[in-house]
């Protein structure tokens, strides 16, 4: 990725330009690289979620429906949206709250998906893991909300 600061831009735009990417026609795209890791992780969740959907359809066994739905909605949809929001609003994307959100979301979801899969197939012993991971996931959403309220700023 080629990220450059342009001397042709007014001084107060230089910091912004440092975080933007030149397009082929030499224009400046209005996004920063900060959301890329979110978008890449989101698409991994999409592959897993869609893979589960195809398996459910092929086997006509829909037991894992809630796992499929949470991987697609928390993993793909919510993380991709976070990635796009953090790309468009770098102040929010580079904040400490964004880092905390990242770890809360990405640690909780794998535990939550796996524990949910076990619990709905009869392993009640994993209910505490499910509950704990759900609380961590919800905390991540609250941190996301706080971050947007505090750090969404137009440039």
- For ligand HEM, the binding residues (CB under 6 A) are 49-50, 53-54, 56-57, 62, 65-66, 68-69, 72-73, 76-77
CB count, 10 Å around CB of 45?
A: 24
CB of 120 to ligand HEM, least distance (A): 10
CB of 60 to ligand HEM, least distance (A): 9
Rounded to 5 degrees, what angle do the CA atoms 98, 139, 35 make? Answer: 25
Rank residues 79 and 92 by Cβ distance to ligand HEM and give the closer one.
Answer: 79
CB of 139 to ligand HEM, least distance (A): 22
Rank residues 34 and 130 by Cβ distance to ligand HEM and give the closer one.
Answer: 130
CB of 124 to ligand HEM, least distance (A): 20
Rank residues 57 and 128 by Cβ distance to ligand HEM and give the closer one.
Answer: 57
Rank residues 77 and 148 by Cβ distance to ligand HEM and give the closer one.
Answer: 77
CA distances 81 to 4, 6, 42, 68, 129, Å, are 26, 29, 9, 18, 27
CA distances 103 to 106, 109, 136, Å, are 5, 10, 10
11/29 Cα distance (integer angstroms): 18
72/75 Cα distance (integer angstroms): 5
């Amino acid at each position: 990725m080629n990220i450059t600061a342009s001397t042709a831009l007014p001084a107060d735009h230089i910091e912004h330009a440092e975080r933007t990417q030149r397009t082929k026609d030499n224009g400046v795209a209005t996004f920063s690289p900060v959301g890329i890791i979110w978008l890449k992780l989101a698409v991994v969740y999409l592959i897993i979620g869609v893979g589960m959907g195809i398996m459910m359809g092929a086997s006509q066994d829909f037991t894992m429906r809630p796992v499929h739905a949470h991987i697609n909605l928390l993993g793909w949809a919510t993380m991709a949206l976070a990635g796009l929001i953090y790309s468009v609003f770098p102040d929010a994307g580079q904040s400490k709250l964004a880092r905390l959100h990242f770890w809360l979301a990405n640690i909780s979801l794998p535990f939550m998906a796996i524990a949910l899969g076990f619990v709905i197939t009869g392993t009640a012993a994993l209910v505490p893991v499910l509950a704990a991971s759900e609380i961590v996931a919800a905390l991540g959403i609250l941190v996301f909300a706080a971050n947007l309220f505090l750090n969404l700023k137009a440039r």
